[in-house]
Structure formats: C-alpha cells, structure tokens
Chains A and B, each alone.
Chain A
Amino acid sequence: MGLNTYISVRDLSVSYGGQRALNNISIDIPDGKITAVIGPSGCGKTTFLKALNRLIELHDGTRVTGQVLIDGEDIYDPAVEVTHLRKKVGILMQRPQVLPMSIYDNVAFGPRIHGTRKKRLLDQLVERHLVEAGLWSEVQDRLHAPASQLSIGQQQRLCLARALAVEPEVILGDEPTSALDPISAQRIEEHLFELGKSHTVVLVTHSLEQARRLADHVLFLYLGDLVEQGPAQDVFDRPKYLRTRCYLSGRYVECPNVDQELNLRGKLTTFDQLESTGHSLRVLGTGQVLKIIVDHYSGDNGVAKALEAKGHRILDVKRLNQSEWEILIQKEGGDAYEI
C-alpha cells in the first residue's frame, strides 16, 4: 500500500483573496515515510496540507496555481474526480470534528458513500478500524451512542478510524495532537508513527519535539516560502540556511544585513555566475553579506556548491517568483550570523 503513491509538488502557489499564502513551492514528498512540515504560525503549513487534497478549495477566494502530482496525475486537472482524490488522501484535523451521528456510523460513513452496503462487511470494517485507532475497547459496547459524547481525545481517535476506513494511501495530519491532552496526544502520535510504516504521512506540526520524534523527512516553511527540506536528521542537526537555524533554535527569524547586491539575471551559465560572484565577494570584508539574484537555479546549484567549497557560507536561498531566486552569501571566516 502506498508504495507507488508519489506526491510531487510543482511551483505551487496559493493565495487567499489576493494575499499570497504559499509561494512557488516545489518538492517531492518521499513515499511511505513521515514528512513533517514545520514553521511558525501563519507560514502556510495548513494551506500546504489542504492543497494536497484540495480542501483548500472550500475556503473563499482561493487561487491555486502550479501542480500537485499524485501518482503522476495533476490533482488540479479539471478531469480529476475530487471525491476519488480525497478518498486516496485522508486528513486528520487540528480539532476533531465528529459527524452528527453514532460512533458506528462515523466510521461506516466513508465506506458507505464509497459503495459498501453489506452490514456484515461494514461491521468488520468498523471493528477493524476502531481497533487500529485504539478506540475499540472503549466503545465496543456503545457503538450506537452519539459520537459527540466521546471525550475530545477519543473523538480524535474516532476521526482517525473514520479516515482510515476509506483506506487512504496518504494521511495528512494538521497538528492533530495540538488540541489534545498529553496522554491522548501521545496515543495519536504513536498511531501516526505506526501508520508511517505503511502509508505516506504528511504531518503539520508546530512541535519541533514531535517532528524530531516522528519525522523521516522535514520541510520548513516560512511566510509562504519553502526554506529548507531534507532528511530529518540533516535539517535538525545541520540546518543549511539562516532562517532554519533561527527557527530551530527558537530565535526570532532575522534577515541578515546585505552589504552588496549583485544581479545575475540573464547570466546564462554557472561559470558566468561563479565568476561574477567571486569578483563581488573579493571586495567584501570577512563576514559581510552578498545578495545575488539569479534566474535559473536548481536545488543543488553549482554556484552555491562551489562557493561553499571555498568556505563561504550560503545563508539563505529564497525563491522570488517562478524564475528568480535570491541567494545570500556570507564571505568566509565570518561569524556574524552564527547561532
């Protein structure tokens, strides 16, 4: 299950009523792993998550550009059946929201709308998924009681069972433990960890601890930009960019003072860029910062690599728009922005 589900986000931008919430995000989300999305409040984490199953469309005035490919299919293609997409991509919300029906019906709701009618089959499904979500023993004797009578922690586990009942391949979690008491939170976390073994899990969390415990892979979003992403170990232990380092160490995210700017738009080859950058760096003092703007860049840009090899430090790479990037380079030897 889940192994051929491949989520690939290409130049995804989302705006609400003209206000940008996500800025040209491009990323491949690893299969069958837990990917944590971290970042301060309002950085677009939830927007990113809800863009993956098109729940974002329920909000007013949203405009989505770019592509989200799941199994090679652009989910924003008008030909895509959104109900199929959402069956494949389940979500666990921040606050559990049970449906206005019994515990049993909450779990059976999804399978029913997707065509399972036989009572015996539904009974099995309900039991299996309630067991899977760790709720069965607490509710097996009151399956037909209203779901709203459950405690909030139980409701969240019910929501998990409900999401699992449609057999999704991807599970999205929007800070699913943040509204819960510590014990309920821990239980949900354990379930997510188990699910990560068989599903692709994308988990938005504002708890760095939780991300450290669960994540195989980490994305750091800041003000709608994808700042840094990579294997959890790398991002947590050796964050590349200044903004990531600030955030991870609990500091106010600061922007370095730029001492010189260099525009490399239209410089077509990496060599040209490297040459010009080298010249500019030479005139700067130790620890000073150069900002360059380039119009073609890939994740492992030659310029950045070469400069780092020389001991200079890439402080930040910011995507300005579809075709332009801003790279902040600190001249070797400096420690002004060390944390």
Chain B
Amino acid sequence: MDLRKFEERVVKSLMIASTCIVAGSLVFILATILFAGLPSLSIEMLTKTPEGGYYLGKEGGILNAIVGSLVLGVTATVIAAMVALPVALYLNVYLRKGSKFGLAVRFFLDALSGVPSIVYGAIGFTVMVWLGMQASLLAGILTVALLILPIMVRAMDEVLKMIPLELKESSFALGTTKLETATRVIARQALPLLLTAVMVSFGRGIGDAASVLFTAGFTDSMPRSLFGPVATLPLAIFFQLGTPFPEVQARGYASAVVLTAIVLFISLASRFLMRASTKNQSR
C-alpha cells in the first residue's frame, strides 16, 4: 500500500478524533449541567433572592448572584477595556516593532495571564486588609479587572498587530499624528475584533470564582453599594453544590446553567456585533 496515502489517512483520522474530543467535551458539559440543573430551574429562581433557609432547600432564588455577577463583570470589563485599549495602541502605534520595551511589556502580560486567579484574589484581599476595607463590590470589580486586563491587552495586541502597514502609511501620509491614526483609523479598522477581545475577557471575568471569593464576598441580598459585599454566580454555584441536600445541589446545577447561558449569550452577541460593525472595514 502507498505509504504516503496511509500516512495521510492515519493523521487525518487522528485530527478528526481530536476534533470530536473538543466538540464532545462541550456537549458533555452542557448535557451534564442541563440534565442535572434544568429540572430545578424555575422562574422563581431567576426572579427571587434567597430567603431564610434557601441553602437548606427552602424558598428563594439566585437573582442576587445574577445581578451581582452582571454588575461586577460588566464594570470590571469596562474598566479593564479603558486601560487595555491605550496599552495595546501604544504597543502597536507608538513603539517600533522590535522595541525592547514592547517585548518586555508583552512578556510581563503573558506572565500575568498565567497567574492563577486565586492569586489575584489573595492579592486583592491583602490590599483590602491594608486599606481596612471589607469584602465589597468595589474590591471585586478591581480584582476581576486586574485579572482580565492582561488577557484583554494581549488579545487586543494580537488584533492590532494584524493591521496592515499600508493602512498606517495611508493615514500617516495625510499628515496625521500618531494619536489621530491610532484612534481614527487603526482602532476603527480593528473595532470588530477589539470588541471580540473585550467579550472574551468578559466571559473569563464573569465565570471566575477564585478571584471574587475573598474580595467580593457573598451576600443573600441584592447589590446596593460599592462598599458592601456582593453575590456572584460562580460562588452561588460553589455554595449550593457544597450543601449536603440534593435539591440544593440541583439548584447549583441550575445556577451553572444560568452562568453558562450568560457566557454563551455574550459569545453569540459578540459574533453578531462583529458582523454588524464590519461594514466599513477596508479589505
């Protein structure tokens, strides 16, 4: 038999197998949480806060955690984006490609992206103790913003790197300053992918439990103040799954369904936004 043909077939089969593992994992995860959580998912869960004895199986819902997670996630993402965009533009428009400083910054960002989120949580906690603060929405926001910042910068950086030099030249050739080229041409050209970078980071931030464990705390009431503790979905899942009661555990799975749905929705929305905002992009 033709050896090259054989090789081709074997490698192709391996590739298909790998692809199936990836797709299968997602299906498996979704099936598990849907199977375990969907039966106890109710309107009540989505619209009520925990009442007395909720964690023992009594009345209530996780609205506090849904709202808390959304407020915390959105705010942290906005803050991170406000810092990340200037950094990414600076790295790509102001610095030369081979700049030592740029290399160093990218190295630190990569290292930061690899720091486990519990470490961010611990650092946030340490700073809170120094400042004499208690676990609060503000501390949670800042910690999560810090957690997703390096991921967002690097994602934006990769996007901006793809901008063709010719486009920059075309803009500079008209007598623009770097700032004008960065904000009016490059950011605009990259907008769809920059939005995707923001959305991906949001998904990462909203689903993280460890960073908010010490910093945002947990509460059964709705978030009211920046300086009070706030409930988040990952911790709601954690606490519910940690109880010995099967019906509460089932609600934990239901909460997981909610969190997954939010992330999935964000992912779809970012695709939609990307398509809607590409109309002006030059090829």
> A113-B174, A113-B180 given as contacts; is B282 within 8 A of A95 (CB)?
no
Please classify how large the interface on chain A is, using the bins under 10, 10 to 19, 20 to 34, 35 or more. Answer: 20 to 34
Interface set, chain A 280-305, CB cutoff 8 A to B: none
CB distance from A45 to the nearest CB of B (A): 16
- B174/A148 in contact, CB under 8 A: no
Q: Which residue of A lies closest to B169 (CB)?
A: A55
- B173/A148 in contact, CB under 8 A: no
Q: Which residue of B lies closest to A149 (CB)?
A: B279
0 or 1 for each of B162-178: is its CB under 8 Å from A? (1 = yes): 00111111111111110
**Which residues of chain A are within 8 angstroms of B281 by Cβ–Cβ distance?**
100, 146, 148
**Which residues of chain B are within 8 angstroms of A109 by Cβ–Cβ distance?**
174, 184
Q: CA separation between A147 and B185, bound complex, in Å?
A: 13
- A114/B175 in contact, CB under 8 A: yes
0 or 1 for each of B135-167: is its CB under 8 Å from A? (1 = yes): 000000000000000000000000000001111
- B170/A87 in contact, CB under 8 A: no
Pick out which of these stretches binds chain B: A128-136, A159-167, A221-229, A250-258: A159-167
**Which residues of chain B are within 8 angstroms of A100 by Cβ–Cβ distance?**
185, 188-189, 191, 280-282
Please classify how large the interface on chain B is, using the bins under 10, 10 to 19, 20 to 34, 35 or more. Answer: 20 to 34
Does B58 make an interface contact (CB < 8 A)? no
- B175/A58 in contact, CB under 8 A: no
> A58-B165, A58-B168 given as contacts; is B175 within 8 A of A101 (CB)?
no
Does A29 make an interface contact (CB < 8 A)? no
**Which residues of chain B are within 8 angstroms of A85 by Cβ–Cβ distance?**
175
Does B283 make an interface contact (CB < 8 A)? yes
- A55/B188 in contact, CB under 8 A: no
CB distance from B117 to the nearest CB of A (A): 36
**Which residues of chain A are within 8 angstroms of B53 by Cβ–Cβ distance?**
none
CB distance from A26 to the nearest CB of B (A): 25
Residue among B168, B180, B184, B189 with most chain A CB within 10 A? B184
- B176/A97 in contact, CB under 8 A: no
Does B97 make an interface contact (CB < 8 A)? yes
- B279/A55 in contact, CB under 8 A: no
**Which residues of chain A are within 8 angstroms of B177 by Cβ–Cβ distance?**
83, 113
0 or 1 for each of B243-280: is its CB under 8 Å from A? (1 = yes): 00000000000000000000000000000000000011
* Number of interchain pairs (Cβ within 8 Å): 85
0 or 1 for each of B84-121: is its CB under 8 Å from A? (1 = yes): 00000000000011100000000000000000000000
- A87/B165 in contact, CB under 8 A: no
CB distance from A153 to the nearest CB of B (A): 14
Q: CA separation between A109 and B174, bound complex, in Å?
A: 8
Interface set, chain B 172-214, CB cutoff 8 A to A: 172-177, 180, 184-185, 188-189, 191
**Which residues of chain A are within 8 angstroms of B166 by Cβ–Cβ distance?**
93, 95, 97
Q: CA separation between A58 and B178, bound complex, in Å?
A: 11
CB distance from B175 to the nearest CB of A (A): 4
**Which residues of chain B are within 8 angstroms of A163 by Cβ–Cβ distance?**
173-174
- B175/A166 in contact, CB under 8 A: yes
- A98/B173 in contact, CB under 8 A: no
- A53/B173 in contact, CB under 8 A: yes
Does A314 make an interface contact (CB < 8 A)? no
Q: CA separation between A289 and B85, bound complex, in Å?
A: 64
Does A10 make an interface contact (CB < 8 A)? no
Q: Which of A60, A99, A102, A148 contacts B171 (CB 8 A)?
A: A99
**Which residues of chain A are within 8 angstroms of B180 by Cβ–Cβ distance?**
113
Q: CA separation between A32 and B98, bound complex, in Å?
A: 39
Q: Which of B168, B169, B171, B173 contacts A90 (CB 8 A)?
A: B173
Q: CA separation between A222 and B185, bound complex, in Å?
A: 36
- B280/A146 in contact, CB under 8 A: yes
**Which residues of chain B are within 8 angstroms of A99 by Cβ–Cβ distance?**
167, 170-171, 185, 188-189, 282
**Which residues of chain A are within 8 angstroms of B172 by Cβ–Cβ distance?**
55, 58, 86
CB distance from A83 to the nearest CB of B (A): 4
> A58-B165, A60-B96, A100-B188 given as contacts; is B280 within 8 A of A113 (CB)?
no
Q: Which residue of B lies closest to A166 (CB)?
A: B174
Does A84 make an interface contact (CB < 8 A)? yes
**Which residues of chain B are within 8 angstroms of A58 by Cβ–Cβ distance?**
165, 168-169, 172
Q: CA separation between A166 and B280, bound complex, in Å?
A: 22
Q: Which residue of A lies closest to B171 (CB)?
A: A99
CB distance from B263 to the nearest CB of A (A): 29
- B174/A55 in contact, CB under 8 A: no
- B280/A93 in contact, CB under 8 A: no
Q: Which residue of B lies closest to A109 (CB)?
A: B174
- B175/A97 in contact, CB under 8 A: no
Q: Which of A61, A83, A114 contacts B98 (CB 8 A)?
A: A61
CB distance from A77 to the nearest CB of B (A): 17
Q: CA separation between A95 and B164, bound complex, in Å?
A: 12
**Which residues of chain A are within 8 angstroms of B188 by Cβ–Cβ distance?**
99-101
CB distance from A264 to the nearest CB of B (A): 43
Can you list 10 A-B contacts with CB-CB less than 8 angstroms, sorted by A residue number? A55-B173, A83-B177, A86-B172, A91-B169, A97-B167, A97-B170, A97-B282, A100-B281, A109-B174, A166-B175
6 shortest interchain CB distances as A-B pairs: A87-B175, A86-B175, A100-B189, A110-B174, A97-B170, A83-B175
